[in-house]
Amino acid sequence: MIASRTALATKSVARFVVAVLVVAAILPATAADARVARRHLRMRMDGYVGPPPEGRREMANLVLRAGRKNVPFQVTSATVLSGGTLAANIFSQVRPYTPNFILRGQRDLVGQIENAAPGARLRIIGNWVGGTRDFMVASVERQDDASGAH
């Protein structure tokens, strides 16, 4: 009787150990898959090319890598169009890096930013790839300077 209890206990322990090993083998793969899946957040940034005027501070002072050129860009307004975060949170994540965003997309769109003259007012819409500095440019619009924002 004692031998059968011992055998039963040994089987229970063995099953438990197998279950722990199976879970341990599955968890790292699941965690790795979660890291690979990146969020894409659609964002609109309004602003102008170049440094801010003396004494003025904008929402964000960014450096955009557009083509082969780093372009200083002052964000006067930004909105996250999809996703549950604020533009300020995204800017905080890329602030430690230079350039802050690496612009990707159609050459003509990225070229509009790369070749924009200092002071040019632009509206840039695209997708930020969470956890990276990649910003996928979907559209670039020149804004008139009638707003007097700078």
Q: Report the domain count for the chain.
A: 2
Judge if 76 and 30 occupy the same domain: no
Judge if 78 and 121 occupy the same domain: yes
Is residue 32 over pLDDT 90? no
Is residue 101 over pLDDT 70? yes
Judge if 101 and 49 occupy the same domain: yes
CB-based contact 127:138 (threshold 8 Å) = yes
Tell me, what CATH number does 73's domain have?
2.40.50
Q: Is residue 54 part of a domain?
A: yes
**Residue 55, Ramachandran bin (φ over 0: left; ψ between -120 and 50: alpha; else beta):** left
CB-based contact 102:110 (threshold 8 Å) = no
What does the alpha-carbon distance between residue 144 and residue 150 come to, in Å, rounded to a whole number? 12
Q: Which domain holds residue 23?
A: 1-37
**Residue 34, Ramachandran bin (φ over 0: left; ψ between -120 and 50: alpha; else beta):** alpha
Q: How confident is the model at residue 145 (pLDDT cuts 50, 70, 90)?
A: low
pLDDT at position 39:
86
Is residue 24 over pLDDT 70? no
Is residue 149 over pLDDT 60? no
Is residue 114 over pLDDT 90? yes
Judge if 48 and 28 occupy the same domain: no
Judge if 53 and 114 occupy the same domain: yes
Q: β-pairing, 101-104 with 134-142?
A: parallel
* 37-93 tens-digit pLDDT: 578 999 999 999 999 989 999 999 999 999 999 999 999 999 999 978 999 999 999
Q: Is residue 149 part of a domain?
A: no
